[in-house]
């Protein structure tokens, strides 16, 4: 069962264009059952991605919507395989009954607080993409 602050690996999910994608990591930022546009969901999570190289890292982090994730932001013995970041402007809505996932680790409370602050700021500016493809 995933909960707030968990890093999870989802086996298959639909991207924002509805295309089925394989294995990707997400960070759970809301684990309350609710509805959006009349559709039930169990949790909300922004997607994680990794940097290809230092040049890619500089470019990606120049956009305020991307937040770097480092190993020190993760609790426990889990370590990132590659330098990573979170796309804070894209929130994916999921129904646990419709996906297969595994909990990998948990982020620190400090990182979670920072992540939520960035997302709330983007919401105020109406700069969030709400991706509901996985609950349709």
State how far the Cα of 8 lies from the Cα of 105, in Å rounded to an integer. 7
Percent of the chain with pLDDT over 70: 100
Cβ atoms of residues 85 and 115 within 8 Å: no
Task: Return mean pLDDT, the chain.
Answer: 95
What's the mean pLDDT in 81-109?
95
What's the mean pLDDT in 87-104?
95
* CA 90-20-31 angle, 5° bins: 45
Q: Does the pLDDT of residue 76 top 90, yes or no?
A: no
Q: Sign of the CA dihedral 51, 55, 57, 59?
A: negative
Residue 77: band (very low, low, confident or very high) from pLDDT cuts 50, 70, 90: confident
Task: Give pTM, 2 decimals.
Answer: 0.94
What's the mean pLDDT in 80-98?
95
């Amino acid at each position: 069962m995933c909960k707030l602050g968990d890093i999870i690996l989802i086996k298959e999910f639909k991207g924002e264009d509805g295309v089925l994608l394989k294995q990707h990591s997400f960070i759970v930022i809301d684990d309350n059952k609710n509805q959006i546009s009349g559709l039930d969901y169990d949790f909300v999570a922004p997607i994680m991605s990794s940097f290809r190289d230092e040049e890619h890292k500089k470019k990606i982090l120049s956009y305020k919507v991307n937040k770097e994730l480092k190993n020190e932001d993760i609790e426990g013995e889990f370590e990132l395989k590659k330098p990573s970041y979170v796309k804070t402007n894209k929130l994916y809505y999921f129904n646990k009954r419709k996906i297969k996932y595994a909990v990998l680790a948990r982020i620190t409370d400090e990182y979670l607080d920072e992540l939520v602050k960035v997302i709330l700021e983007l919401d105020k500016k109406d700069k969030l993409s709400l991706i509901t493809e996985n609950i349709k």
